[in-house]
Chains A and B, each alone.
Chain A
Amino acid sequence: MARLNEEVKTILKSKQTDILDLWKKHLFTKSKQLIELIGLDNLNQRTTNFLTQFIDALSIGDDISQENYKRTREFLSDLSQEMTQKNLTPSETAMFVFSVKDAIFPLLMAEFDGKKFVKSILLINSVIDQLGLVTIEEYLNSREIIIREQQNALTETSVPVVKVWNKIIMVPLVGMLDSSRTELMLETLLESIEDTQAKVAILDISGIPIVDTLVAGHLIKTATAARLMGTDCIITGIGSKISQTMVQLGIDLSAVVSRTTLEDGLKLAFEITNQKIKLGE
């Protein structure tokens, strides 16, 4: 395992203030937004901390998965998470680490030459690159978490089953109907059929922008399942555009009753369940 030469380490330690100044100068020109988000006081503290930890860790080894880099890694992860939440681009966050190179290399260049110089440069270079990747990985992780949370929120609210009337339930479908949502819809629908013992289920697809063969397949599957439980399925909200595309695509929905408006669907549902509404005076 390669590690930093003692001599180089002493130099870096003694020149720490110079490095810091140079580094901050680079940060000011390259990642203004980052500095704005962190704040000037905070920046001083963070850069100092980072540099101290970094130089100490360098003198032990160059494998950043080791214990000596633990604090540096955690520091960068926290920074990246914070910046992601504040909508900073991952390149700017990574620039925070990468600009350390611009601060250290000129100093080393002035102090050494030849083999020792190249060796130290290569070592520092490889470690900083790895640390840069840590920030990007953390960025991706934070994004993943956000995406997962949103997905959960979406699935939770995506399939409401509404009891409209005695023995009539309705599922208003909004957005794209993919396989996983169909599964969810099917399950929720069948569950509420079991609970409410509804005789008619109305699937309102007014909120579905495009009905292709796949979506139609899902609808038919749902209707068949409801039918097996003993509940009739009515599909409403089939507008002119959807009916056109359906016929052009050769989708056969004849197994399912369909209506243009929810109103007509409801009327039909009342007929099927032998119910009438009397409007009072």
Chain B
Amino acid sequence: MSDIAIIKIGNKIIVPIQNELNDIIAEKLQASILKTIESVGAKGLIIDVSTLSIIDSFMGRLLVDTAKMAQLMGCETALTGMRKEVVLTLVQLGLIISDINTSLNIEDGIELLDRIIRGRND
């Protein structure tokens, strides 16, 4: 069972992923994130991966997919705190995660999402 906290702050949800996930738990996590977005009507989703030292192709795609799914539900996503080892491997493997907002840390992520959400409402 996934014991990853899904925290709601204001109109946003923050998901700090703190240990390496196997594929099954990752998929479960995706489902529960989306369920939470639905139930609380979140406008923003922040997935923090600052403690992960490995993001493989499956995890990468899952994250991008989650962002796309959230987008469909009217929720903007920011992936925050990707570590340099992670980025290096992703780039070297050619697994470029595009189409997703990224930020240095959660704080910047919140700021970024605020800006995007504000722009959308205008």
Please report A residues at the B interface, Cβ cutoff 8 Å: 186-187, 190-191, 193-194, 197-199, 221, 224-225, 227-231
Contacts and interface: CB of A to CB of B under 8 A. Distances in A.
Nearest to A255: B98
Nearest 8 A/B pairs, CB to CB: A190-B84, A230-B103, A230-B104, A230-B102, A225-B91, A228-B87, A225-B87, A197-B104
B105 interface: yes
29 contacts: A186-B91, A187-B84, A187-B88, A190-B84, A193-B84, A194-B83, A194-B84, A197-B104, A199-B108, A221-B91, A224-B91, A224-B96, A225-B87, A225-B88, A225-B90, A227-B102, A228-B87, A228-B91, A228-B96, A228-B97, A228-B102, A229-B82, A229-B87, A229-B104, A230-B81, A230-B82, A230-B102, A230-B103, A231-B104
A229 B96 contact: no
Interface string B89-119: 0110000111000111100110000000000
A230 B108 contact: yes
A207 B103 CA distance: 30
Contacts of B109: 230
Contacts of A227: 102
Contacts of B66: none
A264 B83 CA distance: 30
Interface residues of B, number: 18
What secondary structure prevails in chain B residues at the interface with A? mixed
Contacts, number: 48
Contacts of B91: 186, 221, 224-225, 228
Contacts of B77: none
Interface in B2-37: none
A227 B100 CA distance: 10
A217 to B, nearest CB: 11
Contacts of A221: 91
Nearest to B97: A228
Contact of B87 (A190, A197, A198, A199): A190
